[in-house]
Amino acid sequence: MRPGEILVEGDRIRAVGSSVEHPADAKTINLGDVTLMPGLIDAHVHLFLHPGAEDLQTVEESVPWRTILAEQAAKADLEAGFTAERDMGTEGAGSADSAIRTAINEGLIPGPRMRMSGNAIDILGGHEDANHYNPAQHVLSNADYANSAEQIVEVMREQHKEGSDFAKIYETGPDRMIDGVLHTPYQYTAAQLTAAVEEAHRLGTVVGVHAMGEPGTLYAAQAGVASIDHATQLSDETMRLMREKQIPAVPTFTIFEYFADHAPSPAAALREHALLDYKISEFKKQLAAGIPFAVGSDVGPFPHGTQARELVLMVRYGMKPLAALQADLINGAKVLQWQSEIGELKPGYYADVIAVPGNPLDDISVVTRVSFVMKGGLVVRSR
């Protein structure tokens, strides 16, 4: 739409059009030759992580210190144009994320609208269980233990009591490339994941899973999770179920690229680049299969506020710019359970508006150069 005007009243959009009503007492913000868009959505972030040795920061840094850093991360993400995010695990900081969310909601600190999971849920000896440390030191896991369906439900109830918005479950790991093919053991059966999904529905929420490949990705699809994050390897049957149940994959290319480019040794760099190349090849198959996608970057191990690169990479590897934006805004709103409230510039939706210098349908990289951010009718950033 050109020209474009948005009338904001309170924290909501009242009207959108080439020309809207100009109430006498209205403040006019003229941004010039820019494209107005809904605020971006990142469906996979870690506010409680920052660049550096992830296992050491979760052991050496106190939860209060990590909470202060999480506050700064939330601010950086918002100023980059991300007005809504889903935090996929505090990595050992427990329910401290609920405090960040509450402080944002009450206007005490700046940040996106947040959906919080608390700690992720993991099996004993699983993906985030301090596996490289001396067992005699009893280094704590970065996740909450659950070794059965009953324990999953118990942990979910405890996390819900502490303020979680949804459950994040580790379904696969560790990952290995053998003869050019990804191998990643599953952690929970389809029946165990189904128990988690059923408990989430009872609580009025959903389950998102870390699932790199088969058969864990299949079990996640069979259980009906809200999203399959990383989704590096998906079988034909898994993709059929994802289409049927409208379960989006969240590729998280940016973290794979970052690990490949910042590997600690040449051998590690070779492994990480081989995994990224495999992931790109599989992504092209997933696009051809027509599964739904959402956009999540896994930001935290790389700098907060830079994660719009995820859209650039999804387009580079085969997705059309319009499809990438729809994955981010439309499917992202659904994953965060805020459909009909965010992700579109429509009357009645939250006034979450950003401006970029150009048309993202022609050049998706303009989303990395946000010049204006409004969240809930309040200007967060202007130029």
| Contact by Cβ (8 Å): 138, 129 | no
Question: Does the residue 367 lie in any domain?
Answer: no
Taking each continuous run of H as one helix and of E as one strand, the counts in the chain are 12, 17
23 located within any domain:
no
> pLDDT at residue 131 above 90?
no
Is residue 209 assigned to a domain? yes
pLDDT (tens digit, 9 = 90+) per residue, 157-216? 999 999 999 999 999 999 999 999 999 999 999 999 999 999 999 999 999 999 999 999
- Per the structure, the count of domains in the chain is 1
- CB distance 230 to 211 below 8 Å: yes
pLDDT class of 7 with cuts at 50, 70, 90: very high
Q: Is residue 149 in some structural domain?
A: yes
pLDDT tens sequence across 217-253:
999 999 999 999 999 999 999 999 999 999 999 999 9
3-state secondary structure of 239: helix
Those residues with Cβ within 8 angstroms of residue 302's Cβ, 6 or more apart along the chain or in another chain: 51, 254, 255, 258
* DSSP strand pairing (227-230 vs 249-250): parallel
Read off the tokens for 356: 């970029």
Q: Which residues of 296-319 are buried (b: 16+ CB within 10 A; e: fewer)?
A: bbbbbbbebbbbbbbbbbbbebeb
Whether residue 72 is predicted with pLDDT greater than 90 in this model: the reply is yes
13, with CB counted inside 10 A (0-12, 13-18, 19+), is buried
Task: Determine how many CB atoms are found less than 10 A away from the CB of residue 356.
Answer: 23
What predicted TM-score, i.e. pTM, was given to this entire model? 0.97
Cα–Cα distance between 173 and 21 in angstroms, integer?
55
The span from the CA of 1 to the CA of 365, in Å, is 20
Count of alpha carbons within 13 Å of 14, Cβ hemisphere only?
Answer: 12
Q: Is the pLDDT of residue 54 over 90?
A: no
Residues 6+ apart with CB under 8 A from 20: 5, 6, 7, 14
d(CA 173, CA 233): 13
Q: Is the pLDDT of residue 310 over 90?
A: yes
Residue 317 falls within a domain, yes or no? yes
Q: Evaluate whether residue 348 is within a structural domain.
A: no
Q: What is the mean pLDDT of residues 344-364?
A: 98
Residue 323, pLDDT above cutoff 90: yes
Length in residues, the chain: 383
Whole-angstrom Cα distance, residue 183 to residue 289? Answer: 22
Residue 142 inside a domain? The answer is yes
The answer to whether residues 263 and 272 touch, using CB atoms and an 8 Å cutoff, is yes
Strand runs labelled E in the chain = 5-9, 12-17, 35-38, 40-45, 82-87, 113-116, 121-122, 144-145, 167-170, 176-178, 181-183, 207-211, 227-230, 249-250, 353-356, 372-375, 378-382
> Is 55 a residue whose pLDDT tops 90?
no
pLDDT attached to residue 129: 87
Question: What is the domain extent for residue 322?
Answer: 39-342
List beta partners, residue 228: 209, 249
| Residue predicted with more confidence, 53 or 335 | 335
67-82 mean pLDDT: 98
Is 21 contained in some domain?
A: no
What is the residue type of 49? L
Give CA–CA dist 153/342, Å, rounded: 30
Q: What is the DSSP string of 148-167?
A: SHHHHHHHHHHHHHTT-SSE
272-277: average pLDDT: 97
pLDDT in tens, 87-119: 999 999 999 999 999 999 999 999 999 999 999
Q: For position 138, what pLDDT does the model report?
A: 87
Count CB atoms within 10 A of the CB of residue 14. Answer: 16
Q: For position 221, what pLDDT does the model report?
A: 98
Task: List the CATH number of the domain containing 305.
Answer: 3.20.20.140
